[in-house]
Amino acid sequence: MGSGSTLTDVRRIAGIVLAVLLIGGVVAAVVAGRETEDKGTATKTVRGVIGSEKAEFFADPEVVKALAAEGYTVKTETSGSWAMEGLDLKGYDFAFPSSKAPADELAAKYDVREPLPRPFYSPLVVVTHKRAAKVLQLNGLASLDQSRGVLDMAAYLKAAEGERTWQDLKGAEKHGELSGLLYISSTDPTTSNSGALYLAAASNVANKGRVVASEKELTDTAPLMHDLISVQGAQQTSTDAAFRDFVSGVGNPLVLVYESQVASLLAQGQSVDDLVVLYPDTTVHSDHTVVPVTDEGRALGELLGADPELRKLAAKHGFRPQGAATEFTAATAKHTTYLMQKLTVRQAPVPTSEVLHEMARRARGQ
């Protein structure tokens, strides 16, 4: 073998080494590219229990996309807001009841630090049809402005306490569907947030505009609260089911729901025959409150209230984002014949969760 052969061998080996390095470099580049790509599209999966009225919001493809853009995949299960207290939240990142009272209970149970994120809210309203609304107006129980109005809660409670029927009201005789006792259908106050908040508003009016706080005030208002609930018989456990029944034309002429459900329906281009939305002149806001069990749950809750796209999408689903009302105003601009963009009715304070629980139990005869 000569020196030329040795040189050839060296060149061959160098070529192999260079090829290996080049291949390694390409592989490294591909891996790095994949890692960069994964980092840009990867999402953290967070799990939560939510009130049923928020199910459509979290299932909306636009919401899913907006959350993914911020690094989140959200998996949810539904539950009545007050029923969440009995759930084991191990393995979940957050609970998302429909108001502050059940949220405070959960926060205390799981030692969650305050403040709790409250990204949006919705007032309670009563949905009905034009014929029923006009009868209420004729009898001084409501005032109307096109397809929305204001329900006089004091007058309504007086009628409920006196067990008035639709037949007792002037003008009802013209409408065969208006018969039986006059009452508002609500959800079960022992398990559902809207049903409990209905009692909070009604008891405030019955207690001369003061929040019920003492045993005496509980006792004094209990008979009327029992009348409001017992007349209904079996109650729905969620406003989602109650609103679906109303939209399909089933059930009582007056149904308590969240404004967000009506606003969302209208935003989707759907309509209800002769729909009228009545805002109780004393109402309560349902502050949808996140109870973060983990850091990821808290970050998600804060994102829902701060991210402009998510605020816009919340308004699309009928919720009123906290703070400036610009998103809700824009989302409901075409539906002001049904909805109050600026609330002009009285917002009553809500009793403590302990008082509200006891009020609900007594109202249900438990």
Query: What is d(CA 64, CA 83) in angstroms, rounded to the nearest whole number?
Result: 26
Name 68's Cβ contacts closer than 8 Å, sequence gap at least 6.
41, 43
Per-residue pLDDT reduced to its tens digit, 147-188: 999 999 999 999 999 999 999 999 999 998 899 999 999 999
Query: What is d(CA 201, CA 359) in angstroms, rounded to the nearest whole number?
Result: 12
Which tokens sit at 205? 């009016």
Find out whether 141 and 151 touch, Cβ atoms under 8 Å: yes
Q: In CATH terms, are 44-120+288-333 and 122-286+338-363 the same topology?
A: yes
pLDDT at 57: 96
User: Read out DSSP for 330-359?
Assistant: HHTGGGTTT--SS--SEEPPPPPHHHHHHH
Cα angle for residues 162, 165, 170 (degrees, 5° grid)? 105
Find out whether 304 and 76 touch, Cβ atoms under 8 Å: no
Which tokens sit at 204? 């405030």
pTM of the model: 0.84
* Residue ranges of domains in the chain: 44-120+288-333, 122-286+338-363
Written as tens digits, the pLDDT of the chain (366 aa) is 444 444 344 444 444 433 433 334 433 333 333 333 333 455 799 999 998 889 999 999 999 999 999 999 999 999 888 889 889 999 999 999 998 888 999 999 999 999 999 999 999 999 999 999 999 999 999 999 989 999 999 999 999 999 999 999 999 999 988 999 999 999 999 988 899 999 999 999 999 999 999 999 999 999 999 999 999 988 988 888 889 899 988 889 999 999 999 999 999 888 787 999 999 999 998 999 999 999 999 999 999 999 999 999 999 999 999 987 899 999 999 999 999 999 999 999 999 989 999 999 999 998
Q: Which residue has the tokens 């003492």?
A: 214
Four-way CATH pick for 44-120+288-333: 3.20.20.10, 3.40.190.10, 3.30.310.220, 3.20.20.70: 3.40.190.10
Which tokens sit at 159? 């009628």
Query: What is d(CA 68, CA 66) in angstroms, rounded to the nearest whole number?
Result: 5
Q: Which DSSP symbol is given to 147? A: T
pLDDT at 366: 82
β 94-96/291-292 pair status = antiparallel
Cβ burial of 64 (10 Å; 0-12, 13-18, 19+) is middle
Question: Own/partner pairs for 228-231, CB < 8 Å, 24+ apart?
Answer: 228/157, 228/160, 228/183, 228/184, 228/186, 228/198, 228/199, 228/202, 228/363, 229/186, 229/189, 229/195, 229/199, 229/363, 229/364, 230/363, 230/365, 231/160, 231/181, 231/183
CA atoms within 13 A on the CB side of 28: 6
Query: What is d(CA 255, CA 69) in angstroms, rounded to the nearest whole number?
Result: 38
Which tokens sit at 119? 């990204």
According to CATH, what is the number of the domain 122-286+338-363?
A: 3.40.190.10
- Tell how far CA 165 is from the center of its chain: 32
Q: Which residue has the tokens 């409501």?
A: 142
Find out whether 279 and 130 touch, Cβ atoms under 8 Å: no
Query: What is d(CA 203, CA 226) in angstroms, rounded to the nearest whole number?
Result: 11
pLDDT at 40: 43
